[in-house]
Amino acid sequence: MRELTFVEAAREGLAEEMARDPRVFVVGEGIGARGGNFNTTVGLFDLYGEERLRDTPVSERGFTALCTGAAVTGSRPVVDFMFIDFLVDAFGDLFNQTAKLQWMSGGRLKMPIVLRGCVGVASQFGPHHSGNYYPFFLHVPGFRVVMPTTPADAKGLLKTAIRCDDPVLFLEHKNLLNLKGSVPDGEHLVPLGQAVVARRGDGVTIVAIAYMVREALRAAEQLAAEGVDAEVIDPRTLAPLDLDCILESVHKTGRLLVVDEDYAPCGAASEIATQVMERGFDDLDAPVRRLNGAFIPAPYSEALGQGLVPDAAAIARAVRDLLAE
Amino acid sequence: MPFEVTMPRLGWSMEVGTLGAWLKQDGDPVEAGDLLFSVEGDKATQEVEALESGILRIPPNSPPPGRELPVGTVLAYILQPGEIAPFEGPSAARDTLPEPPPVATGPAQPPERTVRSRRDQPAISPRARRAAGELGVDWSALQGSGRSGRIVERDVRQAAREAPARLSPLARRVAGRLGVDVEQLAAAAPGRRLRREDVEAAASPAPLSGVRRLVAERMAASAHTAAAVTLTSEADATELVRLRAQLKADAQPVPAYTDLLAKLVARALTEHPDLNAHLEGEAIVQSSAVNIGIAVDTERGLLVPVLRDVQAKPLRQVAAESAALVERARGGSISPDDLRGGTFTITNLGMYDIDAFTPIINLPECAVLGVGRIVPKQVVVDAGAERLAIRHMAFLSLTFDHRLVDGAPAARFLQRVKQYVEMPYLWLVE
Amino acid sequence: MTHSPDVPRDRLLALYRTMLLIRRCEEQLVRLYAAGAIRGGCHTYIGEEAVATGVCAQLRADDAVFSTHRGHGHALAKGIPPAELVAELLGKATGCSGGRGGSMHLFKPEVGFMGSSGIVGPCITLAAGAGYTARLQRTDRVSVAFFGDGAVNNAAFHEGINMAAAWQLPVLFVCENNLYATEVPFAKATRNPSVAGRAAAYGLPGEEVDGNDVMAVYAAAGEAVSRARSGGGPTLLECKTYRHRAHSEGQREAGYRTAEEINAWKARCPITRFRQRLLQDFGAAAADLDAIEAEVRDLVQEAVRFAEQSPRPDPATAADHLYSEEDGDRA
């Protein structure tokens, strides 16, 4: 076991996969010699050069589709968008080509492409650099979506994503990048579609997404002092979702709060709530509650950002309110 | 305007008065001059008359009798036709406070909602509904502790804990028969209506315990250990029947057939002591005392209390002791001493219309006598003369342990018992 | 630019046969569409056969072709059997996409046909990606993007060609400029009428070709393919051509093309022209050409019969291959 930051762990995973498979290459703005705006590729350019660490022009649509074409012809590209907000320009080809080529070709074309980028509200980056956008990829058939919250999971899930023959969104919350945590030695892979119970409890279930897991754990500590024993679940993968893990928890506690920084309408929390309602209706002692970020673009000014995203105090309040149902 | 009936000043210095009693009731029509109520003043009790005619209306929160009140306190009203008492008008309606809105928990608030349920029943969460089904709780009568009165799981579980268990009459009977502790069963299933199946389930398949286990062990040991042989002999019990009938006319207690047999068998055993023996290790030990165990059917199972020194005791004493033993056995107060030390056992199944059977030896004894029913039969009393008669016949079934006793001695013993049954007056021959 | 057509005889006949195959097959599809057997879009390649034929004749089976909505010609020229093309448009299980794609989403990776797209533009960037793989894996494969004049003003054109040129990817970008994008004349869509001329802006060679002269296309494509295979990077070919029929079957000619214009281009039919050239310049026998004609006709008839008799796809398979794992979709 070693202590690594989230970024270091992910990078270690990428390095291992690039060493293991010469078909893996990285594409993005500034990921070459500079090592990436978020240090995602530091040290790799020296090992593999520009062919496998390709700095791109500002052509998100272009290089996403280019990597899609590369993926169906035997390469395993990692598209590093830096900020997930930039990926939005590529929506057209992502939904019509990347998501569908495997299906349209009856499985004869594979799509081993990783689409990675940093998500979430942080550091007052403002309206164009604070996005999440992942619900789109839960909604369109063909994608996998993973959002690790620990360094060990960052490494394990990135490796799995690179080895997967499906298009995988690998989303890293900005507030997690410097989080330190234990990372196992040796080969470490985390499977897709497997949630983890970050904190065991039997009083209430909290499913939290990405950075909200950390806030939920802080909230759980506050609540424990009040005699409320919260169980916190980190789904780790949003598509496919480990619903069984959530249902098992709800069966135990009867009450569910889903905390997601992203917007409420048609979001991941809505999907989880609906699935739990469909399959765990009789276990529910109260309606499922969602706690989402404010339904506005992310403001720059601190003053406008109060309550923009849930924090531990807001989560604890939501839990108390849920228990009063 | 309704006329106000007030505490009157009955003396120029009176400041307070104590309401004595109302002499009219709320709703009564009163005439001016009618006496309405009494007042205990400084000096004496005085009755107060109505100053108006109309309907007397006493508010529900009117000061009760015995209360000391300032002069002028409104006690009641007298209404004219069409007037409404102030305490019943629209202005008296209490305001209901609106429900506080849900606590603001974060940027995205859930829309405020009131819990509505179908068909005017209280709202209940799915989890609570399921719990109610499992626990047999009628939730429609519950008060919900959830928001807006929703019934939640804890309400259902609370109700179940507080509800007494209800047993069906049949369940109660079965519980008694099977010896199931009803209170314990009820505590395990709070609020549930217990039925016969629940009781039976609680009783069985309970593992063998107590008496049952003991009996089972002893029966098995006997069946596997002794070399059991059963001899049957049909005895003419007519004389015995007659004897008992005569004894009935005498003072209590009336010896039962089993008691009579015990005495007869005891006599026979003193003549055939090898049937009054048991195995101790490798040795066969004969007892000088004849202690006869009487098989008794109790709710808890078969018990065999022992009558001691039957050979030495008069019949009446034997009868009294056996009656006491049987009562103690059936009542559950038999002691281990009562069950020990037998040298021979008698088991009577005649009352169940059993003719003959193969009783199991009550180890370490070496023989057991089974007694069947006494039944009138047509028998040959003089073969030569081809004469028949109706006699009271009974089968005696003797099972003996062939390890200790051979067939002939056993047969001889049984024959002697038969003789005693047929000719009870042989007792007179000591 | 001059080309010396030092082309072997059997290759010449093959060029003729391929064009004829495309023409006869498209004619059948026109009839099937009119009979109601084909739904949705059906954009015929009639009149443009020389482009697909000339380019694909220079390609190997392991070279990758990415095509557009008007892709039947590319599909047949690259090696998709006519039976599989017709079956696909009839929505049958034996179609090259298993009935999943129809006219605009044809796939047969086994012959290097990596897909046509109902969205205009992405074939350019996808082909660039295939070129990237060839570079990365140090193979000499080339990739080709076929697209119309409508695609050249799409960002995919700009970004894809720019990256292909910047990174010297082995790609052939073939623009079939038939002067109209649906009903929008190219002259109205952009100020500079030369597509080939754009190449200079990105730093790659660009060539304008008579798209109705199969020999010219063949020659130009040959140069571009050699360039790509030898590491010389991408080429942009602008093939001037014309579609004889409406943009899509079922659409009327909405009057944006004059009868004169259409007839003038029909008179320059690539097949008629090449037949004449074969007879006149290359000494081919009419009987041989007729034999090819007959063989193609039979082949196409057989293809239609095959397609009509083929089964529909099993509805239970609709969700298969959404993901690479075979245990079906995990939503």
The chain C residue lying nearest A109, using CA atoms, is C109
Average pLDDT over residues B74-85: 87
Instruction: Answer yes or no: B402 catalytic.
Output: yes
Nearest Cβ partner for C156 among A62, A110, A141 = A62
Average pLDDT in chain B? 83
The alpha-carbon radius of gyration of chain C (Å, integer) is 19
The answer, yes or no, to whether residue C255 has pLDDT greater than 80, is no
- CB count in 10 Å sphere of residue A198: 19
Q: Does A239 touch chain C (CB under 8 A)?
A: yes
Q: What is the pLDDT of residue C40?
A: 85
Question: What number of residues does chain B have?
Answer: 430
Q: Tell if the pTM clears 0.90, that is, is over it.
A: no
Residues B72 and B216 in one domain: no
Residues B131 and B264 in one domain: no
The chain A residue lying nearest C119, using CA atoms, is A96
Q: What is the pLDDT of residue A38?
A: 94
Say if A87 falls within a structural domain: yes
Domain end (from B87, B110, B129): B87
Domain that holds residue B176: 166-203
CA distances from B392 to A101, B162, B240, B264, B346 (A): 103, 62, 9, 17, 20
Residues A275 and A165 in one domain: no
How sure is the predictor about C327, in pLDDT bands with cuts at 50, 70 and 90? very low
Residues A179 and A253 in one domain: no
Residues A12 and A153 in one domain: yes
Record: contact B127-A254, CB cut-off 8 A: yes
Are the C-beta atoms of C56 and C77 separated by less than 8 Å?
yes
Residues B223 and B355 in one domain: yes
Domain end (from A183, A205, A231): A183
Residues A59 and A141 in one domain: yes
The answer, yes or no, to whether residue C321 has pLDDT greater than 60, is yes
Q: Does A109 touch chain C (CB under 8 A)?
A: yes
Query: What DSSP character marks residue A236?
Result: S
Nearest Cβ partner for A308 among B105, B107, B150 = B107
The answer, yes or no, to whether residue B241 has pLDDT greater than 80, is yes
Chains sharing 3 or more CB pairs under 8 A with chain B: A
Question: What number of residues does chain C have?
Answer: 331
Are the C-beta atoms of B308 and B291 separated by less than 8 Å?
yes
Q: What is the pLDDT of residue B107?
A: 46
Residues A80 and A157 in one domain: yes
Say if A226 falls within a structural domain: yes
Q: Choose from A52, A53, A73 for mutation: most chain C CBs within 10 A.
A: A73
Residues B108-159 pLDDT 10s: 444 444 455 455 667 899 999 999 998 888 888 898 998 888 999 999 999 9
Q: What angle do CA C242, C96, A113 make, to 5 degrees?
A: 95
CA distances from C99 to A220, B27, C133 (A): 53, 90, 29
Residue B157 belongs to a domain with what CATH number? 4.10.320.10
CA A16 to centroid of chain Cα atoms: 21
Can you tell me the distance from the alpha carbon of C124 to that of C146, in angstroms, rounded to the nearest whole number? Answer: 8
Q: What is the pLDDT of residue C34?
A: 85
- Amino acid at residue number A204: V
Q: Which residues of A touch C104 (CB under 8 A)?
A: none
Can you tell me the distance from the alpha carbon of C179 to that of C240, in angstroms, rounded to the nearest whole number? Answer: 8
Which residues of chain A approach chain B closer than 8 Å at the C-beta?
254, 264, 281-286, 289-295, 307-310, 314-315, 317-318, 320-321, 324-325
Record: contact A72-C135, CB cut-off 8 A: no
Residues B28 and B171 in one domain: no
Q: Which has more confidence, B106 or C273?
A: C273
Domain end (from B147, B178, B203): B203
Average pLDDT in chain C? 93
SS3 assignment for chain B = CCEEEECCCCCCCCCEEEEEEECCCCCCEECCCCEEEEEECCCCEEEEECCCCEEEECCCCCCCCCCEEECCCEEEEEECCCCCCHHHCHHHCCCCCCCCCCCCCCCCCCCCCCCCCHHHCCCECHHHHHHHHHHCCCHHHCCCCCHHHCECHHHHHHHHHHCCCEECHHHHHHHHHHCCCHHHHHHHCCCCEECHHHHHHHHCCCCCCHHHHHHHHHHHHHHHHCCEEEEEEEEECHHHHHHHHHHHCCCCCCCCHHHHHHHHHHHHHHHCHHHCEEEECCEEEECCCCCEEECEEECCEEECCEECCHHHCCHHHHHHHHHHHHHHHHHCCCCHHHHCCCCEEEEECHHHCCCCCCCCCCCCECEEEEECCCEEEEEEEECCCCEEEEEEEEEEEEEEECCCCCHHHHHHHHHHHHHHHHCHHHHHCC
Measured in angstroms, the CA of A238 and the nearest CA of chain C are apart by 9
The answer, yes or no, to whether residue C230 has pLDDT greater than 80, is yes
Residues B140 and B68 in one domain: no
Do B and C have ≥3 inter-chain CB pairs under 8 A?
A: no
Residues A271-301 pLDDT 10s: 999 999 999 998 999 999 999 999 999 988 8
Residues A200 and A283 in one domain: yes
Say if B306 falls within a structural domain: yes
Residues B51 and B154 in one domain: no
Measured in angstroms, the CA of B150 and the nearest CA of chain A are apart by 8
Average pLDDT over residues B314-334: 89
Residues A51 and A115 in one domain: yes
Say if B97 falls within a structural domain: no
Name the domain count of chain A.
2
Give whichever of B220-229, B310-319, C219-228, C250-259 has the largest mean pLDDT. Answer: C219-228
Residues B125 and B249 in one domain: no
> Which of B409, B400, B384, B255 shows the shortest CA–CA distance to B318?
B255
Q: What is the pLDDT of residue A228?
A: 97
Q: What is the pLDDT of residue B32?
A: 78
The answer, yes or no, to whether residue C42 has pLDDT greater than 90, is yes
Domain end (from B140, B162, B184): B162
The chain A residue lying nearest C318, using CA atoms, is A103
Are the C-beta atoms of A118 and A84 separated by less than 8 Å?
yes
User: With 0-12 CB in 10 A as exposed, 13-18 as middle and 19+ as buried, what is C264?
Assistant: exposed
Say if B374 falls within a structural domain: yes
Q: Does A105 touch chain C (CB under 8 A)?
A: yes
Query: Active-site residue among B224, B272, B392, B402?
Result: B402
Are the C-beta atoms of A145 and A238 separated by less than 8 Å?
yes
How sure is the predictor about C77, in pLDDT bands with cuts at 50, 70 and 90? very high
Q: What is the pLDDT of residue B90?
A: 62
Q: What is the pLDDT of residue B187?
A: 63
The chain A residue lying nearest B109, using CA atoms, is A291
ipTM of the complex: 0.87
Domain end (from A183, A218, A233): A183
Average pLDDT over residues C58-82: 98
Say if A257 falls within a structural domain: yes
Can you tell me the distance from the alpha carbon of A26 to that of A67, in angstroms, rounded to the nearest whole number? Answer: 9
Residues B16-43 pLDDT 10s: 788 888 999 999 999 877 888 988 865 5
Say if A317 falls within a structural domain: yes
The alpha-carbon radius of gyration of chain B (Å, integer) is 43
- Tens digit of pLDDT at every position of chain A (325 positions): 999 999 999 999 999 999 999 999 999 999 999 999 999 999 999 999 999 999 999 999 999 999 999 999 999 999 999 999 999 999 999 999 999 999 999 999 999 999 999 999 998 888 999 999 999 999 999 999 999 999 999 999 999 999 999 999 999 999 999 999 999 999 999 999 999 999 999 999 999 999 999 999 999 999 999 999 999 999 999 999 999 999 999 999 999 999 999 999 999 999 999 999 999 998 999 999 999 999 999 988 888 888 899 999 999 999 999 999 8
The answer, yes or no, to whether residue B424 has pLDDT greater than 90, is no
Domain end (from A183, A214, A249): A183
Instruction: Answer yes or no: A16 catalytic.
Output: no
Q: Which has more confidence, C329 or B193?
A: B193
The answer, yes or no, to whether residue C182 has pLDDT greater than 80, is yes
Q: Which of residues 39-78 of C touch A (CB under 8 A)?
A: 64, 66
Q: Which has more confidence, A164 or B252?
A: A164
Residues B371 and B267 in one domain: yes
Say if B273 falls within a structural domain: yes
Q: Choose from A26, A55, A66 for mutation: most chain C CBs within 10 A.
A: A66
Q: What is the pLDDT of residue B111?
A: 47
Domain that holds residue A108: 2-183
Say if B127 falls within a structural domain: yes
Query: Active-site residue among A129, A231, A261, A271?
Result: A129
Domains of chain C: 9-303 (3.40.50.970)
Q: Which of residues 96-115 of C touch A (CB under 8 A)?
A: 97-98, 100-101, 105, 107, 109-110, 114-115
Say if B93 falls within a structural domain: no
Q: Choose from A215, A263, A266, A285 for mutation: most chain B CBs within 10 A.
A: A285
The answer, yes or no, to whether residue B376 has pLDDT greater than 80, is yes
Percent of chain B at pLDDT > 90 equals 41
Can you tell me the distance from the alpha carbon of A13 to that of A78, in angstroms, rounded to the nearest whole number? Answer: 12
Label the pairing between strands B35-40 and B16-22. Answer: antiparallel
How sure is the predictor about B14, in pLDDT bands with cuts at 50, 70 and 90? low
Can you tell me the distance from the alpha carbon of B131 to that of B156, in angstroms, rounded to the nearest whole number? Answer: 7
Measured in angstroms, the CA of A110 and the nearest CA of chain C are apart by 7
Say if B105 falls within a structural domain: no
Measured in angstroms, the CA of B156 and the nearest CA of chain A are apart by 11
Residues B152 and B175 in one domain: no
Name the domain count of chain B.
4
Measured in angstroms, the CA of C35 and the nearest CA of chain A are apart by 26
Nearest Cβ partner for A104 among C100, C128, C158 = C100
Residue B235 belongs to a domain with what CATH number? 3.30.559.10
Q: Does C140 touch chain A (CB under 8 A)?
A: no
Residues C280-311 pLDDT 10s: 999 899 999 999 999 999 999 999 999 999 99
Q: Does A271 touch chain C (CB under 8 A)?
A: no
Q: What is the pLDDT of residue A181?
A: 97
Residues B71 and B186 in one domain: no
The answer, yes or no, to whether residue C2 has pLDDT greater than 60, is no
Nearest Cβ partner for A102 among C98, C119, C324 = C324
Residue A255 belongs to a domain with what CATH number? 3.40.50.920
Say if B262 falls within a structural domain: yes
Residues A116 and A222 in one domain: no
Are the C-beta atoms of B325 and B339 separated by less than 8 Å?
no
Residues B330 and B189 in one domain: no
- Amino acid at residue number B324: A
Structure tokens at B383: 């073969």
The answer, yes or no, to whether residue C170 has pLDDT greater than 90, is yes
Nearest Cβ partner for A292 among B108, B128, B129 = B108
Q: Choose from C69, C80, C173, C321 for mutation: most chain A CBs within 10 A.
A: C321
Chains sharing 3 or more CB pairs under 8 A with chain C: A
Percent of chain B at pLDDT > 70 equals 84
Q: What is the pLDDT of residue B419?
A: 94
| Sequence-separated (6 or more) residues with CB below 8 Å from residue C261 | none
Q: Does B157 touch chain A (CB under 8 A)?
A: no
Residues A54 and A165 in one domain: yes
Nearest Cβ partner for B125 among A285, A292, A321 = A285
Residues A32 and A178 in one domain: yes
Average pLDDT over residues C191-216: 97
Say if A190 falls within a structural domain: no
Query: What DSSP character marks residue A294?
Result: -
Measured in angstroms, the CA of C21 and the nearest CA of chain A are apart by 24
Residues A203 and A263 in one domain: yes
Q: What is the pLDDT of residue B68?
A: 86
Residues B246 and B363 in one domain: yes
